[in-house]
């Protein structure tokens, strides 16, 4: 049971990190586009 919980925690954490990475990448892309257009 503890191993299942650990695996679940790792999956949730990796999911969160992926979402965070996408969010940051999108923000950076928006800033870059704004700089390029201005």
The pLDDT tens digits of the residues spanning 18-27 come to: 999 999 999 9
Domain of residue 4, residue span: 1-38
As a residue count, the chain comes to 38
Q: Would you say residue 17 has pLDDT above 90?
A: yes
The total number of structural domains in the chain stands at 1
Q: Would you say residue 6 has pLDDT above 90?
A: yes
Cα-to-chain-centroid distance, residue 10: 14
């Amino acid at each position: 049971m503890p191993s299942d919980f650990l695996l679940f925690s790792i999956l949730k954490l990796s999911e969160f990190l992926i979402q965070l990475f996408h969010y940051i990448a999108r923000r950076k892309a928006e800033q870059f586009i704004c700089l390029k257009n201005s």
